[in-house]
Chains A and B, each alone.
Chain A
Amino acid sequence: MTNYDAIIVGAGHNGLTNAAFLAKAGLDVLVLEKNSYVGGATASLELHSDWKYSNCSYVCSLFRPEIYQALDLGRHGLEVVPLQGSVTFKQNGDYLGSYHQPSVRRREIARHSKRDADAAIRFDADLMKWCRLIRGFLLRTPPDPASFKVRDAMEFAYLLKRFYSLSESQIYEFIRFFTMSIAEYLEQYFESDVILAHFSGGSIIGTGLGVYSPGTAYVLLHHAMGDVDGNVGSWGFARGGMGSVSAAIASSFQAHGGVIRTDAEVKKIVVKGRRAVGVMLANGEQINAKAVVSNLDAKRTFLSLMDSADLPADLVTRAKNFKIRGSSGKVNIALDGMPDFPAIPKGSPLTLGHMHFTDTLERLERAYDDWKDDRWSHDPYVDMVIPTQYDPTMAPPGKHMMSVFVQYCPVEVEGGWTNGKRDAFGAAVINQIGDYSPNFKDLILHAEIRTPRELEAEVGLTEGNIFQGELTLDQLMFNRPFPGYAQYRGPVKNMYMCSSSNHPGGGVMGAPGANSAREILLDLGRADTTPEDFSDD
Chain B
Amino acid sequence: MSAFDVNENVSPINFKEVLQPSPFQSRIDEYGIVQEWMSWNGYKTARVFDTLASEYFAIRSTCGVMDLTPMEKYRISGPDALTYLNRLVTRDITLLKPNRVTYVIWCNDEGKVLDDGTVFHLQNGDYRLCSQHHQLDWLLLSSLGFDVTIEKETHDVAALAVQGPTSCAALMEAGLVDIDRLKPFDIGYMTLNGMELMISRTGFTGDLGYEVWTHPDRALDLWDLIFSVKEQGLFDIRPTGLGALDMVRIEAGFIMPGDDFNTAETAVRADRVRSPYELGLGWLVDLEKPYFTGKQALIAENTEPAKQRLVRLVVEGNKPPMDAFLYDQKGGSRIGTIKSCVWSPILKTNVALADIEFQKGSAPIEIWAEIYYQKELEWRATWARCNISKKPFWAHPRSSITPPQKF
Chain A bound to chain B: yes
Q: Which residues of A pack against B, CB within 8 Å?
A: 91-95, 97, 99, 101, 103-104, 106-108, 111-112, 114-115, 117-119, 121-122, 125, 128-129, 132, 165-167, 169-170, 343-345, 347-349, 435, 537
Apart from the given pairs A93-B5, A94-B6, A107-B20, 5 other A-B contacts in the complex at a CB distance below 8 Å: A94-B7, A104-B15, A104-B17, A165-B271, A169-B109
Smallest Cβ-Cβ distance to A116: which chain B residue = B137
B39 close to A103 (CB less than 8 A):
yes
Instruction: Give B241 Cβ to nearest chain A Cβ, in Å.
Output: 18
18 of the cross-chain contacts (CB-CB < 8 Å) are A92-B6, A93-B4, A93-B6, A94-B7, A99-B15, A103-B39, A107-B20, A108-B13, A118-B138, A119-B137, A121-B134, A122-B265, A125-B266, A165-B271, A169-B110, A345-B12, A349-B15, A537-B269
Q: Tell me what chain B mostly uses at the interface: helix, strand, loop, or mixed.
A: loop
Name the B residues within 8 Å of A128 (CB-CB): 268
Contact of A121 among B17, B42, B140, B266 (CB under 8 A): B266
A92 close to B270 (CB less than 8 A):
no
Smallest Cβ-Cβ distance to B140: which chain A residue = A115
Smallest Cβ-Cβ distance to A122: which chain B residue = B265
Q: Which residues of B pack against A, CB within 8 Å?
A: 1-2, 4-7, 10, 12-13, 15-20, 39, 42, 109-110, 133-138, 140, 152, 265-271
A111 close to B18 (CB less than 8 A):
no
A-B CB pair tally, cutoff 8 Å:
84
Central interface residue in B6, B19, B135, by most chain A CB within 10 Å: B6
Given contacts A92-B2, A114-B136, A345-B15, contact A107 B109 (CB under 8 A): no
Bound-complex Cα distance A373 to B10 (A): 39
Bound-complex Cα distance A435 to B1 (A): 9
A103 close to B13 (CB less than 8 A):
no
Bound-complex Cα distance A344 to B6 (A): 12
Given contacts A107-B20, A115-B140, A129-B268, contact A348 B15 (CB under 8 A): yes
Instruction: Give A393 Cβ to nearest chain B Cβ, in Å.
Output: 28
B13 close to A111 (CB less than 8 A):
yes
Name the A residues within 8 Å of B266 (CB-CB): 121, 125
Name the B residues within 8 Å of A94 (CB-CB): 6-7, 10
B265 close to A165 (CB less than 8 A):
no
Smallest Cβ-Cβ distance to B109: which chain A residue = A169
Closest 5 CB pairs of A and B: A93-B4, A118-B137, A103-B42, A118-B136, A119-B137
Instruction: Give B13 Cβ to nearest chain A Cβ, in Å.
Output: 5
Instruction: Give A109 Cβ to nearest chain B Cβ, in Å.
Output: 10
A166 close to B270 (CB less than 8 A):
yes
Given contacts A93-B6, A104-B15, contact A170 B42 (CB under 8 A): no
A115 close to B136 (CB less than 8 A):
yes
Name the B residues within 8 Å of A122 (CB-CB): 137-138, 265
Bound-complex Cα distance A129 to B270 (A): 9
Instruction: Give B219 Cβ to nearest chain A Cβ, in Å.
Output: 20
Name the B residues within 8 Å of A91 (CB-CB): 1-2
Name the B residues within 8 Å of A165 (CB-CB): 269-271
B136 close to A101 (CB less than 8 A):
no
B265 close to A101 (CB less than 8 A):
no
A103 close to B19 (CB less than 8 A):
yes
A115 close to B5 (CB less than 8 A):
no
Name the A residues within 8 Å of B1 (CB-CB): 91, 435
Instruction: Give A185 Cβ to nearest chain B Cβ, in Å.
Output: 16
Contact of B137 among A97, A106, A121 (CB under 8 A): A121
B268 close to A106 (CB less than 8 A):
no
Name the A residues within 8 Å of B4 (CB-CB): 92-93, 343
Smallest Cβ-Cβ distance to A345: which chain B residue = B12
B18 close to A104 (CB less than 8 A):
yes
Bound-complex Cα distance A97 to B135 (A): 23
Bound-complex Cα distance A435 to B133 (A): 40
Name the B residues within 8 Å of A119 (CB-CB): 137
Name the B residues within 8 Å of A345 (CB-CB): 12, 15
Smallest Cβ-Cβ distance to A128: which chain B residue = B268
Name the A residues within 8 Å of B42 (CB-CB): 103, 106-107
Smallest Cβ-Cβ distance to B268: which chain A residue = A128
